[in-house]
Amino acid sequence: MAILSDRDIKKCLKTGEILIEPLENPERQIQPSSVDLRIGNEFKGFRIIRKPCIDPMDKTDMDSYMESFYINDGEPFIIHPGEFALATTYETVKLPDNLVARVEGRSSMGRLGITMHVTAGYIDPGFHGRITLEISNIGKMPVALYTGQRVCQIVFETMTSPSEKPYGHPDRDSKYMGQKRPETSKIKHDYEIVNRSRS
């Protein structure tokens, strides 16, 4: 695998092989080997609930564990130490079937104790939608996040060959294809959970 340089990223954006919309400031957002992405204005955080745990086998809708927040431009979303929240990128991203991507937090955010993904920084070939960010504050101070703020970067890597069944293929279970807002976990739709609950 090889990481795309700024030169190659610009070529792919020009030909439409990679889609990032809106890319309002390419000169600032395109870095030597990545593209800075901004945070949107919808967030989800966990409610305080009286359950012992989140159980994928529970028939309860996962959305019931979380509440949504819409943040107006210029208003902060405050994430406190130890808190976890979901958000999306401001930009919509579309990948071809021969590229994968990774989302990494910006160094400037990491130095404030803010992580932008817990484990799901990987984006499959063929994905199309906004990227859900899994934000945690592992620092000791609350941090304000603002809509349109550059918080993460996307890195593109070439594959040895195009994917036979990219994300979104009819034979693939692509639960998050086309997402436009922060999506809660759809783990209860995983085939091993579904099959176990039927038995």
Q: Are 88 and 37 in contact (CB under 8 A)?
A: no
Residues making up the annotated binding site for dCTP are 106-111, 124, 132-134, 153, 167, 175, 179
In a domain, 131, yes or no: yes
User: What is the pTM assigned to this prediction?
Assistant: 0.84
Query: How far is C-alpha 189 from the chain's CA centre?
Result: 19
Between 186 and 5, the higher pLDDT residue: 5
Q: How confident is the model at residue 49 (pLDDT cuts 50, 70, 90)?
A: confident
Q: Which helix (H) or strand (E) holds 151?
A: strand 150-158
- The confidence score (pLDDT) of residue 7 equals 97
Among residues 134, 157, 164, 192, which one is catalytic? 134
In a domain, 190, yes or no: no
In a domain, 121, yes or no: yes
Active-site annotation holds for 164: no
In a domain, 83, yes or no: yes
Residue 189 has pLDDT above 70, yes or no: no
Distances (CA, A) of 152 to 29, 55, 91, 163, 164: 10, 30, 11, 26, 29
In a domain, 186, yes or no: no
Q: Which helix (H) or strand (E) holds 195?
A: helix 191-198
- The confidence score (pLDDT) of residue 166 equals 82
Whole-number average pLDDT of the chain? 88
Beta pairing class for 122-123 and 35-46: unpaired
- The confidence score (pLDDT) of residue 167 equals 77
Q: What domain count does the chain have?
A: 1
**Residue range(s) defining the domain that contains residue 148:** 2-48+61-164
Residue owning tokens 């976890």: 84
Q: What is the mean pLDDT of residues 58-84?
A: 87
pLDDT in tens, 105-132: 999 999 999 999 877 688 999 999 999 9
Q: What is the mean pLDDT of residues 79-107?
A: 95
Distances (CA, A) of 188 to 54, 84, 92, 184: 11, 20, 26, 11
Output the CA angle 158-131-61, nearest 5 degrees.
130
Is the peptide bond prior to 22 cis by the omega test (within 30 degrees of 0)?
Answer: yes
Distances (CA, A) of 82 to 3, 17, 113, 175: 33, 39, 10, 28
In a domain, 198, yes or no: no
In a domain, 15, yes or no: yes
Q: How confident is the model at residue 165 (pLDDT cuts 50, 70, 90)?
A: confident
Domain holding 150: CATH number? 2.70.40.10
Torsion of CA 159, 161, 167, 170, to 10 degrees: 180
Q: Which helix (H) or strand (E) holds 13?
A: helix 6-15
Q: How confident is the model at residue 182 (pLDDT cuts 50, 70, 90)?
A: confident
pLDDT in tens, 8-21: 999 999 999 999 99
Q: Which helix (H) or strand (E) holds 107?
A: helix 107-110
In a domain, 119, yes or no: yes
